[in-house]
A = this chain, B = another copy of it.
């Protein structure tokens, strides 16, 4: 191994529901995710993550559930595929109170939430967490969700990103431009709370959104939450290059991942940002045991719970591709899907048969590492060195068991190698990612330009 110069970022990939990515594994004896409705399940988990020096809990979300030709197959309910699930944002305040350092990345959609309400929610969370909040920006593509929200049909892929960009622009207005840094005096002796000259009316009249008025929320530690993104299409990548501060990549092998990381860095530079302005993480699952063979047996045991029908409809729900309807010998590289390019790229050198076999076994997981603590630390170290990836979104097989395994068995080994911290630094989540003093968006981020004085009749 060469010289490792950086500590890795570690996130926990979760959903506020029964199943994560391996459909059927909810029924494994060690799986406790069915307790997702209990606050104590989540507060215990958050404290375990903090014990293991995780950076953040990532809460994936969508209002959608599987639907094939307009029908939801019975197996979706029987195996709890994406349904039931609860709102993930509402976990955060309780978890913030139960922890001191762990950050929280919450997913909301630029297609279905009103920008003003969304901004007020994130500003509130930035206050309540004291700067430990991130926003995973998604652009929803789902006929199911359109029907739940009374919208007419699906929005074309590229237009979704145009909407998302305007949504971010008005969000930057609110987060960055609404209240000057020194607007709040809160001086009881002079009886002045805020300086009216330093609170600015937002005037956004765009193609998709109109917001006229004052932002409800006084300045929070980070203002704009740390921006996460996961889109892998051309327009998704362009959107990420311009806006994202952390991107969740989905490469499945080191070569693909290395190219994605390099692409992300050059995209940031092309957008006028520094090459390290965007952190890159990838999904990671581990199965660890005292011996390699025990670990392999443990993985096989987990995967024996996968329900193939449930896995297939989950895949279809994520990508729009029904694996059962494709010629098994067809090259997967020829399969295209509206917005779902990731899955195709992942299997671009495989046949449909091979891709299906892999997916039914591994779900939507990216890297799966199996072995002893030292073997796993070796693999992590090698992958980081080879690809330049900044960290991982840890995806458990069972919860909290898979977290406990990582925290108790692998984290100490990663700490010995200098790959993980042994204490949390002070400061906001953005400072932990980008260094002391970097609580706010940097000057080269497009959001920073929304800080300049806005046209304001009352100022």
A457 within 8 A of B: yes
Residues 319-344 of A, flagged 1 when their CB comes within 8 A of B and 0 if not, give 00000000000000000000000000
Partner of A98, one of B79, B97, B209: B97
How far apart are the CA atoms of A65 and B202 in the complex, in Å? Answer: 14
Interface of chain A, main secondary structure: mixed
Q: Is A213 an interface residue (CB 8 A)?
A: yes
A29 contact set on B, CB distance < 8 A: 188
Given contacts A80-B193, A91-B93, A211-B148, whether A216 and B86 have CB atoms under 8 Å apart is: yes
- In this complex, how many residues of chain A approach chain B with their Cβ under 8 Å: the count is 78
Query: CB within 8 A of A90: which of B93, B150, B213, B458?
Result: B93
- Interface contact B34-A116, CB-CB below 8 Å: no
Asked if B194 contacts A72 (CB within 8 A), the reply is no
Name the interface residues of A33-48: CB closer than 8 Å to any CB of B. 34, 37-39, 43
Roughly how many angstroms separate A125 CA and B88 CA in the complex, as a whole number? Answer: 11
Taking the nearest CB of chain B, how far is it from the CB of A75, in angstroms? Answer: 8
Closest Cβ neighbor of A40 among chain B residues: B97
Contact A24 B191 (CB under 8 A): yes
A298 at the interface (CB under 8 A from B): no
A196: which B residues are within 8 A, CB to CB?
Answer: 74, 76-78
CB closest chain-B residue, reference A29: B188
A378 contacts B by Cβ under 8 Å: no
Chain A residues 191 to 235 lying within 8 A of chain B, measured CB to CB, are 191-196, 199, 209-214, 216-218, 220
Instruction: Give the complex CA separation of A74 and B144 in angstroms.
Output: 46
Residues on B with C-beta less than 8 A from A26 are 188, 193
Copies per complex of this chain: 2
A83 to B120, CA, bound (A): 12
Q: Are A150 and B94 in contact (CB under 8 A)?
A: no
Interface string of A111-133 (1 = CB under 8 A from B): 01110110011011101100000
Given the interface pairs A16-B124, A123-B86, A212-B147, the reply to whether A78 lies near B194 with Cβ below 8 Å is yes
With known contacts A148-B211, A193-B77, A194-B80, A120–B39 Cβ distance under 8 A: no
Question: By the criterion CB–CB under 8 Å, are B191 and A65 in contact?
Answer: no
Inter-chain CA distance A214–B457, complex, in Å, is 46
Measured in the bound complex, the distance between the Cα atoms of B152 and A210 in whole Å is: 10
Given the contacts A150-B210, A186-B34, A458-B71, A78 and B192 also touching, CB distance less than 8 Å: yes
B residues near A148, Cβ cutoff 8 Å: 116, 211-213
B65 close to A114 (CB less than 8 A): no
Report Cα–Cα, A90/B117, bound state, in Å.
Answer: 12
Interface residue? A247 (CB, 8 A): no
In order of increasing CB-CB distance, the 8 nearest A-B pairs are: A150-B210, A80-B193, A84-B218, A93-B94, A86-B124, A74-B196, A147-B212, A37-B127
